[in-house]
Amino acid sequence: MPANKLIIMSRRALTLLLAGFLVLALGVVGAFRPVPYVVLSPGPTENTIGEVDKKPVISIKGHETYPTAGALSLVTVAYQGGPAAQIDLLTALRGWIDPTVAVVPQETIFAPDRDPKEVEQENSVEMTNSQDSATAAALNELKIPYGMTVSVVAAEKGKPAEGKLQKGDVINSVDGKPAGNVDIVSDTVKSHKAGENVVFNITRGKEKLDVTLQTVAGTEGQSVVGVTMTGAYKFPFDVDINVGDVGGPSAGLMFSLGILDKLTPGELTGGKKIAGTGTINPAGEVGPIGGIAQKMVGAKDSGATVFLTPADNCAEAMKAVPDGLRLVKADTLHNAVLALDALRTGKGSVPACAAG
Tell me the per-residue pLDDT of 116-143, one tens digit each, with 9 for 90 and over.
Answer: 666 666 666 677 778 999 999 999 999 9
Q: Is residue 99 part of a domain?
A: yes
Same structural domain for residues 192 and 263?
no
Residue 4 backbone dihedrals phi, psi, to 5 degrees: -65, -35
Strand partners, 80: 39
Same structural domain for residues 266 and 134?
yes
Same structural domain for residues 228 and 258?
no
Please indicate whether residue 98 or residue 216 has the higher confidence score (pLDDT): 216
Q: What are 91-123's pLDDT values in tens digits?
A: 777 877 888 888 788 777 776 665 666 666 666
Residue 197 backbone dihedrals phi, psi, to 5 degrees: -90, 145
- Residue 26: band (very low, low, confident or very high) from pLDDT cuts 50, 70, 90: very low
Same structural domain for residues 192 and 261?
no
Instruction: Give the end of a domain, one of 193, 218, 234.
Output: 234
Closest by alpha carbon to 275, among 249, 301, 246? 301
Q: Does the CA dihedral 353-354-355-356 come out positive or negative?
A: negative
Q: Could you tell me how far CA 274 lies from the centroid of its own chain? A: 19
Same structural domain for residues 252 and 196?
no
Work out how many domains the chain is built from and give that number: 2
pLDDT at position 155 is 93
- Backbone φ/ψ region at 241: left (φ over 0), alpha (ψ -120 to 50), beta: beta
Asked if residues 253 and 284 have their Cβ atoms less than 8 Å apart, the reply is no
Residues marked active site are found at 250, 295
pLDDT at position 281 is 92
Domain extent at residue 167: 147-234
- List the Cα angle 318/321/325 in 5-degree steps: 120
Same structural domain for residues 337 and 248?
yes
Closest by alpha carbon to 194, among 212, 211, 217? 217
- Residue 24: band (very low, low, confident or very high) from pLDDT cuts 50, 70, 90: very low
Closest by alpha carbon to 261, among 249, 269, 253? 269
Same structural domain for residues 297 and 175?
no
Same structural domain for residues 264 and 311?
yes
Q: Is residue 1 part of a domain?
A: no
Same structural domain for residues 157 and 279?
no
Asked if residues 75 and 293 have their Cβ atoms less than 8 Å apart, the reply is no
pLDDT at position 19 is 53
- Backbone φ/ψ region at 176: left (φ over 0), alpha (ψ -120 to 50), beta: left
Q: What are 224-283's pLDDT values in tens digits?
A: 999 999 888 999 999 999 987 776 788 999 999 999 999 999 999 999 999 999 999 999
CATH of the domain at 182: 2.30.42.10
Q: Mean pLDDT score of the chain, rounded to an integer?
A: 86
Instruction: Give the end of a domain, one of 234, 265, 287.
Output: 234
